[in-house]
Structure 1
């Protein structure tokens, strides 16, 4: 599709909407908005706009739609799929100034926020008041707008679910500049199609979320963490399903292999316990009664030891737990600090985790590439850092494509899928037809429906065009 150009007149019109200080055209400043955390090459936008209100977003989108200019929404820029890379130039609407917690409704256990709120800031503010917003992506610097766009999950998914499970209502600006309000401050809603759930996970291709009402839960009073090294990844992976089979659902149930733990050590500049073990489970249990939490961690510890654990280390102070979880949370950043990394986000049923990890390691050996496997074992979501190391770009690109294609086919063969929480963006776009439906015809029907939905919401295809699929 041929798009309109960003002219001096359009820049002046944008300045009239948000003010000249919040319209960026200087190349050096634009470079910050040309990339995200993926390996997709940077693309400079023509202009960046930083609105402070829904009205300003609506006016900017109305202008862009009239002039057929592509627009990409951006919050913190932590996307790992190329989803916020402005591949057609155009306008980037940055929500960095729309970063307010607007209302805390303690009677209904709800919080109203803007898309530029950083998730770790929301967590901290809610915890001060005795509440928990459960979705907990490992990237603590991500923003809620991006979390909505990808239906982010994180470490607490095993117990609480993902972002979609905690969104009660959204305010959304359409490509035309019209503002719609989806959902209410109610847990129950059986009123027509759920357009709210269509927006969640749509990666900014259907509309721009400017406010969201999110559900809270009471903050658990007691947290305990178990750090459990294993002699092999098969035993660690099998233990995950065994814990759940025993009707114990931890707040978090994470897996990491030795290469993941070692890269975290190097990044943090301190050793992790039992760093010679091939595999680890990191388990967080929560509750309101000390005796209940103690009984749960003792039961989990026994299950781990019965299934090949080398040891079960208990961290029950806030300081010791923070050190353990810092090691788990930094693995992606640690790998990127040492070189180029491609990141997988596949998911399988948790009882197929041993087969999936074994298959990933076999693929890496066959293709001749080093990987670090870690992730949210409790819900079957495996992240794989694929390391470039000293490979040429040509060799690296070929091996990454081969590894990803085979890894995705493996996850699908085990009843899983190609993305659990990071989305499709550009990185996984070519693999989308593999991942939908029971066969090629089924997949084609679903993609056709998606294209029709996209066209209805965004007839001029200006909203994050060519992400997820091409019209």
Structure 2
């Protein structure tokens, strides 16, 4: 089912509410308005987006018993009644379902098609998603950048795509370091970490100290020295 919300933070709040109701969806994805709009346009899949809708949850239930599935869907509807939602779309056919998932899977491609961007892969406990989302937007407003957010909401994972837009080379290459640092600091403060599913790698190497204390990093350096005392194995990458 595709659930439209009039308030972005309510979409994030509804995620943990569904789980608290004892429902465990097989998929639960968050999509900000621009994310779903860009992707549906990119794929040329018609999707009506009323002006007052600002975010969507894509919720998938699975099982072998159709009656039981409909009961679970009714439970989800019962949770969502407490939020300011628009008309919920229930996929009646396999084709409709596939179109909804194609839109979700192609958000990254559609963002890439629309703009140069930096993607930060954040993760927090599900209940903290609204606070993270609000914080990301406040940081963007302070530093003058736009973000398009989406992600695996059921896992507390939020992909923050920072859009280049009109930012200068200096702002893009240097000026974003501080706001990205603040986003990661917020994740850790909320009980999360700086990488939900893509690992650290070279892009996030400079931020690893936000998530891990120096003692942990020194332990890893020590393990590196034991197995690679001459520093010849993948030199200079992480340690």
- Determine if contact 1:344/1:384 at 8 Å carries over to the other structure: yes
Report how far residue 266 of structure 1 moved.
Answer: 2.7
Report how far residue 338 of structure 1 moved.
Answer: 2.0
Which deviates further from its counterpart, 416-425 or 261-270?
Answer: 261-270
Distance 1:319 1:238 in 2: 29
Distance 1:459 1:231 in 2: 57
Whether 2:223 is the aligned partner of 1:453: answer yes
**Aligned twin of 1:272:** 47
Report how far residue 455 of structure 1 moved.
Answer: 3.1
Distance 1:461 1:260 in 2: 43
**Aligned twin of 2:4:** 229
Distance 1:456 1:414 in 2: 35
Gaps of 5+ in 1: 1-225, 437-442
Distance 2:39 2:193 in 1: 27
Give the root-mean-square deviation of aligned CA atoms.
1.6
Tell me: CA distance 1:246–1:459, structure 2 relative to 1, closer, same or farther (3 Å): same
Tell me: CA distance 1:251–1:463, structure 2 relative to 1, closer, same or farther (3 Å): farther
Whether 2:198 is the aligned partner of 1:422: answer yes
Structure 1 residues 24-76: Cα deviation after superposition (integer angstroms, max 9, x where no partner): xxxxxxxxxxxxxxxxxxxxxxxxxxxxxxxxxxxxxxxxxxxxxxxxxxxxx
**Aligned twin of 1:325:** 101
Q: 1:370 aligns with which of 146, 155, 159?
A: 146
**Aligned twin of 1:262:** 37
* TM-score with structure 2 setting the length: 0.94
Report how far residue 459 of structure 1 moved.
Answer: 4.2
Tell me: CA distance 1:463–1:291, structure 2 relative to 1, closer, same or farther (3 Å): farther
- Determine if contact 2:143/2:179 at 8 Å carries over to the other structure: yes
* Higher percent of residues as strand: 1
Report how far residue 260 of structure 1 moved.
Answer: 0.8
Distance 2:41 2:231 in 1: 45
- Determine if contact 1:341/1:386 at 8 Å carries over to the other structure: yes
Secondary structure of residue in 1 paired with 2:90: strand
Secondary structure of residue in 1 paired with 2:2: strand
Aligned residues: 238
Tell me: CA distance 1:229–1:448, structure 2 relative to 1, closer, same or farther (3 Å): same
- Determine if contact 2:36/2:103 at 8 Å carries over to the other structure: yes
Structure 1 residues 226-280: Cα deviation after superposition (integer angstroms, max 9, x where no partner): 1000001111111111100011110111101111112212311233243531011
Secondary structure of residue in 2 paired with 1:371: strand
Distance 2:220 2:169 in 1: 34
Distance 1:256 1:451 in 2: 39
* TM-score with structure 1 setting the length: 0.49
- Determine if contact 1:369/1:399 at 8 Å carries over to the other structure: no
Alignment of 1:232-247 (within 5 A): 232-247=7-22
Distance 2:62 2:174 in 1: 44
Greater Rg by CA: 1
Distance 2:139 2:31 in 1: 18
Secondary structure of residue in 2 paired with 1:314: coil
Larger relative CO (CA 8 A, sep 6+): 1 or 2? 2
Report how far residue 364 of structure 1 moved.
Answer: 0.9
Which deviates further from its counterpart, 384-393 or 404-413?
Answer: 384-393
- Determine if contact 2:139/2:179 at 8 Å carries over to the other structure: yes
- Determine if contact 2:145/2:162 at 8 Å carries over to the other structure: yes
Distance 2:22 2:226 in 1: 45
- Determine if contact 2:45/2:99 at 8 Å carries over to the other structure: no
**Aligned twin of 1:309:** 85
Gaps of 5+ in 2: none
**Aligned twin of 1:356:** 132
Whether 2:22 is the aligned partner of 1:251: answer no
